[in-house]
Structure formats: structure tokens, C-alpha cells
Amino acid sequence: MYSVAKLTDYSAAALDAAVRELLSALDAEAATVKSDAEWKAFRDRWMARKNGVLTLVNDLWLKAAPKDAKRDIGQRVNELKTQVEQTVESTQQRMQGGASSARLATDRVDITLPGIRRPVGAEHPVIKTLNEIVGVFRNLGYSVQEGPVIETDYYNFEALNFPPNHPARDTQDTLFVAKQGSKPARERLLLRTHTSPVQVRTMEAMKPPLRIVIPGKVHRNDPPDASHSPMFHQVEGLAVDTNITFGDLKGTLDHAMKALFGSSVKTHFRPSFFPFTEPSAEMMVSCFICGGSGKRGSEPCRPCKTTGWIEILGCGMVDPNVFEFVKGNGYDPKKVSGFAFGMGADRIAILKYGVDDIQLFFQGDVRFLEQWR
């Protein structure tokens, strides 16, 4: 087996002879490698840091060389290192190629067989409903905006006219992020209870006029049951311009409901209260399941509770106090006005698809979701 000898003659002819002897031994040993274990031993013998052949060459040839010969010896040693690395790598590739050929010889593949098709899924009914709602408003010229699910108290409450200790906060049981007590109240983090914070964030970034629709997930500390979930989906909208009136709000939403549920549905508004709108209203549509009759044949219509009307969303004119928080970006409440609305996509999906338990949407049962392929 080849071993590195210390040089006594550093002439070019002597160096050429030593290099030829080393490379000949390298090629001979590489040709004998037949397995992964043999290749690892071959690699370590030539490239190991402590006692590999290259390390011995460096010690016995380069370090021991006289000063005037070090440059030539160093160049030769670098060339040898490159050749050894290339030979070790090519030997490994030869081993891998041989193994692949052996596998192909034993495991024949019929390339004419059809591939394995991934089953085509269906759009989730909640996401489908969400996209349909967004599509209606995009056709009206609204742009889509999104924002963070983890919000600050300022954007989720304060900038929407929910001052600290306001009783309206009690209606939105909130999930707060832990260990926020040392922060100022307005900077404490929480899971947003509505997508309304995106309205404020967008008004901070964009000047009026503004027309946006905001889909997204929201969270509230509600125990899960047939009609409640700690996570659900909302779609909100905001329009701001000069001389926007409640009539514009009614006309926009009436058109949207007809686009969603059919041209025969009617809309009805009744007074309500929301901290960020004034005046506020709840909008109802005539039941698109029983046609507003309150009955389905001889049976009562459960979705509308026999009233012929279904509550769909909350809405109203943007409260001037909300505009005060973004007044510096062109939202002077004396010059602009606007309306906002928000609806639960999960609730509309329940009505539209006749589902009686909201939990079915989130349990991931493929048998349930396959109904809407």
C-alpha cells in the first residue's frame, strides 16, 4: 500500500516522479472500491485531517521544504489536493450509478402505467361563501384589504370608538395574548374580535375617497356549540367620500343581497347600536328559503323562525369620532362621510347550505365537505 515518503530532492524531476507515484497509487486504490464501506475507508485514507495522505503530503513535503522551494511545492500540493478530491467524488458517483443500475435491473418500472392522480377537492363552503360575498363588492368597485389577526387594543377597540371601560366591550369577549400587563393598555395584543381594525389601518395608509371590502378570520371567547365558535369569518366593508348618505348604504346593500340571494329578495332595516357607526342598523332579508312566507309546505321554516325575515348583517354611517383618529390623513368629519357594514360568512353559509351546526365546518370530515364538490 502506498505511503508518503519524505522528500530529500526538491528538483522538478524528483517532484514529478513523486507526484506520478502518488497519483498512480490513488487510481489503483480507487479502482478497487466496490461498496459504500470501502468508499468511506478510501475517502478517509486520502482526506482525513489527522493522518490522511494529503495531510502527510502537506507535512512531509511542504512544511519540510527549504524556503526557496516552498512556492513550487505549495503549488504542487494544491494541485494534488484538487485531483484527490475529484477522484474521491468520481468514485462515489460510480458507486451510486452502479447501485441505481442494479435497482433498475431488479425493479422494472412500466412507464406506460397511468400515474397516481391526487383526488380533486372541493372549495370549503365557508371559503366559497366568503369569496362570493367579496366578488359581489369587487364588481361594485371595492378593493380587497387584509390585516393582522393579532391586533393591538388601540386598533381593535379604541380607534373604533370603544374607549377603555366602555360597556360595548362586554359584547365582544376577547382572547388576549398572555404577559401583556406591563404594556400600556392601547398596545396590549389580542386576537381581533372583528375585521374592523383593517378599516382604521387602511384609512391611515390611504386618503379618501375609499371603498374597501375586508374578509378574514376573527376570534372571540365563545364556547363552541351549534351556533357559536371561538373562530369564525367576517366580511366588512367601508366606503368614504364626500356627501355619502344612508341612502347610498341602503342601495349598495340591497343590490348586494339581490346578487347573493336572488333578485326577488327584499331588504329591511331596523335601528340598532354599534359604537363605530351612528346611526346604526341591522339589515334583514326576506327568507330566500321559504320565499318570505314563513312556511316550507306544511312545515314551519326554521331558518327564519317562521317570520319570513333573516337577519344578515349590521351596518351604519361611520361615527365622526372614528374619523377623528385619522383626521390628519384627509378624513375630516366635517368634509367626508361614509358607511360601514359587516356580516358573518359562516352564518350565511349555514343558511345557504342548510347546515344546522357550525362545528361541522371546522371538524375536517371529508364526508361532510364532499357534499359540495
Alpha helices in the chain (DSSP H): 12-31, 36-47, 53-57, 70-106, 125-139, 153-156, 197-205, 246-261, 320-324, 345-353, 366-369
Task: Collect the ranges in the chain with pLDDT lower than 50.
Answer: none
What is the percent of the chain where pLDDT is above 90?
40
Task: Identify the residue whose cell numbers are 527549504.
Answer: 66
Using only C-alpha atoms, the chain has a radius of gyration, in whole angstroms, of 37
Distance CA 345, CA 126 (A): 6
Describe the crossing of helices 70-106 and 36-47 by its angle, rounded to 10 degrees. 170
- CA-nearest of 220, 147, 150, 159 to 186 is 159
SS3 category, 213: strand
63 secondary structure, DSSP code: I
Contacts of 163 by beta carbon, 8 Å cutoff, 6+ apart: 157
Distances from the Cα of 146 to the Cα of 29, 218, 232, 270, 355, angstroms: 65, 12, 15, 29, 28
Count the neighbouring beta carbons within 10 Å of the beta carbon of residue 226: 12
Q: What are the pLDDT digits (tens) for 194-229?
A: 999 999 999 999 999 999 999 999 998 888 888 788
Distance CA 4, CA 181 (A): 71
Distance CA 124, CA 5 (A): 74
The alpha carbon of residue 180 and the mean position of all alpha carbons in its chain are separated, in whole angstroms, by 26
Q: What are the pLDDT digits (tens) for 87-133?
A: 988 988 887 776 666 665 566 667 787 888 887 777 889 999 999 99
Distance CA 314, CA 341 (A): 6
Question: Phi then psi for 303, rounded to 5 degrees?
Answer: -55, -40
Task: Give the sign of the dihedral formed by CA 30, CA 36, CA 38, CA 43.
Answer: positive
**DSSP structure string for 218-265:** EE--PPP-SS--SEEEEEEEEEEETT--HHHHHHHHHHHHHHHH-TT-
Give pTM, 2 decimals.
0.65
Distance CA 232, CA 345 (A): 8
**pLDDT at position 104:** 56
